[in-house]
Structure formats: structure tokens, C-alpha cells
């Protein structure tokens, strides 16, 4: 066993605190990664506080993991000791259902194994708020960004793929008018990636203070979603809208901005449902309301390679592990541009 320093929540009301865990020795098809940085995702906070009512304690969050491979099993072919590597939201899946067979492990019909908080029928798993992790090589990603950018690559493993996958699936690209709702951890990646794909990007934000930032990140237009006239001007204009907001809000505002056959896709996960939409907003222009969950391993690698090629990383603020509880409070206030990343050197 590999003794590993970590930070854990021991109950829904406890602050995260130092906690020792043990990692297994890598098996033949597994790699051991020294974690160098881990992004702080809103799901970490939801899970640490049991807001989705499925948390198993102790809870060691973190699924935006980047680091260096320090050991590989005898059957590992794709990775070598010393290489940089990443781990996202999944560490295993059944491998034989229809979704797994198509490389869409995030929709595994038997439930994938989460990087933390395991999942139905599996033992609890511990995530990236720790010094080391041991993962099957088929769930490990190659990182081709320059090493100096490593901290800012970490959020690509969740925020990056969560936005890249639906943008690809619904065909964002040249000649397409794409809306991104919300400029937070997910939204700022959505703007960067949609822009790099060549789409015309319209960002929707409630914050006048984020207009300039939205344009800097790649938005062609920034619309204040609290301004009725600005929203009305977008009616029937967009082919696709990616809604990253994780608080209940009126979806009709955005459905009416879609062209015929347009799609509004939700990736934010609010604890309470959105108010119901007017069905006629869907019927009259054959519009769709959809959802999307992260992306498969193959597509996550494609996203990392795309971002390395286009020079895309996340805008981050680096913190030591000891600052995590304060960072959660700031995240709840929206006081982060645009992702916290923990420097794991602080755990040594
Ligand atoms: Zn996440
Ligand atoms: Zn499966």
C-alpha cells in the first residue's frame, strides 16, 4: 500500500481537513501518478457537503487531476515513467455495454466508477485532493501542453470536456451561431473552445463586470441576460446554446433565441429543478432541450490535444491545499476567475 496525504470531508457539515489514505500498488494494467495539481470543481463542493444526497464518507474530492507518472504495471504500453498524465471524472466502467463499446463510458449502462465517491455497487474511491493516485491506463490521459502550463491544464479534465463534448456533438464550428450561458468555470471554457472551433460566440451573463472579460476570452458578442431588450434582439438567431448555469432559471429566455431545429443543452446541475418551459417554444420551431455529461475517454484525449494545439488552458488561481475551505466559500460567491487549482506541493 502507498501511504498518501489527502484532504477529506468526514461529514456533510465538516470542513475539509488533513486525512491519510492508502493507495493500492499498481496492478499490471495500472499507472501510479504523483499528483501535481488538482482543479476545484463545483461538484467537489456538492459532494463534500452531500448536496446530491449520495456521498459516502470519508470524501476526498477532486477530478481535475494532472501529474507525473511514477510507476507503471508490467502490461502498461501507452505510458512511461516520467511522463505527464491526467485523470478526469472517471476511473473505470463496465467496458462491455453499448455505451462503453462506443467509447461513451460516461453513459455506461452499468454506471461508471467516479474518480471520487465511487458509484453504485463499487467501493468508495478517493479523488485528487491527495498526493498520489493509481488508475487503470485506459482511464489515463496524455498531456501535450508545455509543462509550465500544467496547473492551468487541470480544469480541462472536467470543465474542458464538459463543454467540448456538447459543442462537438451539436456541431459548433464556422458559420454557426453558438450561445454560452454563464461565465464561470464551465462557461469560460465553453467560450474559449467554441471560439477556437470557429463558431460565432454569444455569451450571456448577469454580470456587467464580465462583459470585457467575455470578449477577451473569445466571445464575439456579450449579452446581459438581465436586459430584456438585449435578449429580445437574439430571438431566433442561434443554432445551439450551451447553458452552464447551476442555479434554477427560466429556460424559455434561451429557447426563444434558437432558430428552427436549434438545441439548448444543459450542463449545469442545479440542486433544484428549473421552472418548466412553455411547450410551444419547442413545438413551433422543432427545438430541442437536451443535457450532456462530461465526455468519453477517447473524446477527452481529443479535447486535450485540440486545446494543446490551439494553446487553450483554463484561467486559474492557484491555492495551497490548506486554503480549500475558504476557496469553497469564494466559489459560492462567484469570486474566482475562473477556476481554483490546488498546488499539491502544499501537501508534502
Ligand atoms: Zn467536475
Ligand atoms: Zn459500460
Confidence of residue 272 (pLDDT cuts 50, 70, 90): confident
Q: How far is the CA of 145 from the centre of ligand 2 (A)?
A: 30
What is the Cα 22 distance to its own chain's centre?
26
Confidence of residue 348 (pLDDT cuts 50, 70, 90): confident
- Dump pLDDT digits (tens) for 53-86: 999 999 999 999 999 999 999 999 999 999 999 9
Near ion ligand 2, which residues have CB within 5 Å? 93-94, 97, 100, 108
Alpha helices in 51-184 (DSSP H): 98-101, 150-153, 159-169
Residue 328's pLDDT is what? 97
Q: Which ligand is nearest to the CA of 109?
A: 2
> Does the reported pTM lie above 0.95?
yes
Q: Which ligand is nearest to the CA of 92?
A: 2
Strand partners, 4: 21
Expressed in angstroms, the distance from the first to the final Cα of the chain is 18
Q: How far is the CA of 306 from the centre of ligand 2 (A)?
A: 26
Q: How far is the CA of 175 from the centre of ligand 1 (A)?
A: 30
Q: How far apart are CA 149 and CA 156, in angstroms?
A: 12
Residue 64's pLDDT is what? 98
Q: How far is the CA of 112 from the centre of ligand 1 (A)?
A: 15
Domains and CATH numbers, the chain: 2-158+295-347 (3.90.180.10), 160-291 (3.40.50.720)
Q: How far apart are CA 205 and CA 264, in angstroms?
A: 16
- Dump pLDDT digits (tens) for 11-42: 999 999 999 999 999 999 999 999 999 999 99
- Dump pLDDT digits (tens) for 165-179: 999 999 999 999 999
Asked if pLDDT for residue 94 goes beyond 90, the answer is: yes
Q: How far apart are CA 269 and CA 266, in angstroms?
A: 8
Amino acid at each position: 500500500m502507498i501511504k498518501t496525504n489527502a484532504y477529506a470531508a468526514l461529514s456533510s457539515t465538516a470542513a475539509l481537513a488533513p486525512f491519510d489514505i492508502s493507495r493500492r500498488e499498481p496492478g499490471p494494467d495500472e499507472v501510479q501518478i504523483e499528483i501535481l495539481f488538482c482543479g476545484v470543481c463545483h461538484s467537489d463542493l456538492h459532494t463534500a457537503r452531500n448536496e446530491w444526497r449520495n456521498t459516502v464518507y470519508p470524501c476526498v474530492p477532486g477530478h481535475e487531476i494532472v501529474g507525473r507518472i511514477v510507476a507503471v504495471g508490467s502490461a502498461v504500453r501507452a505510458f512511461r515513467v516520467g511522463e505527464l498524465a491526467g485523470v478526469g471524472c472517471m476511473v473505470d466502467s463496465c467496458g462491455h455495454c453499448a455505451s462503453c463499446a462506443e467509447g461513451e463510458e460516461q453513459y455506461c449502462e452499468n454506471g461508471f466508477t467516479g474518480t471520487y465517491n465511487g458509484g453504485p455497487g463499487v467501493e468508495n474511491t478517493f479523488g485528487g485532493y491527495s498526493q498520489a493516485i493509481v488508475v487503470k491506463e485506459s482511464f489515463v490521459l496524455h498531456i501535450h501542453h508545455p509543462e509550465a502550463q500544467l496547473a492551468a491544464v487541470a480544469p480541462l479534465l472536467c470543465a474542458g470536456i464538459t463543454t467540448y463534448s456538447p459543442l462537438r456533438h451539436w456541431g459548433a464550428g464556422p458559420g454557426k451561431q453558438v450561445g454560452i450561458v454563464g461565465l464561470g468555470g464551465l462557461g469560460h471554457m465553453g467560450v474559449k473552445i467554441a471560439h477556437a472551433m470557429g463558431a460565432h460566440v454569444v455569451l450571456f451573463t448577469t454580470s456587467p463586470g464580465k462583459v470585457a472579460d467575455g470578449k477577451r476570452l473569445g466571445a464575439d458578442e456579450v449579452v446581459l441576460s438581465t436586459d430584456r431588450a438585449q435578449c429580445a434582439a437574439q430571438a431566433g438567431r442561434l443554432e445551439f446554446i450551451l447553458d452552464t448555469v447551476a442555479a434554477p432559471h427560466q429556460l424559455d429566455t434561451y429557447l426563444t433565441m434558437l432558430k428552427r431545429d436549434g438545441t439548448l443543452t444543459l450542463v449545469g446541475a442545479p440542486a433544484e429543478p428549473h421552472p418548466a418551459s412553455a411547450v410551444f417554444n419547442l413545438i413551433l420551431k422543432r427545438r430541442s432541450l437536451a443535457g450532456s455529461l462530461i465526455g468519453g475517454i477517447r473524446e477527452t484525449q481529443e479535447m486535450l490535444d485540440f486545446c494543446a494545439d490551439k494553446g487553450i488552458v483554463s484561467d486559474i488561481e492557484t491555492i495551497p491545499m490548506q486554503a480549500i475551505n475558504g476557496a469553497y466559500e469564494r466559489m459560492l460567491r462567484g469570486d474566482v476567475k475562473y477556476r481554483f487549482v490546488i498546488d499539491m506541493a502544499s501537501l508534502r
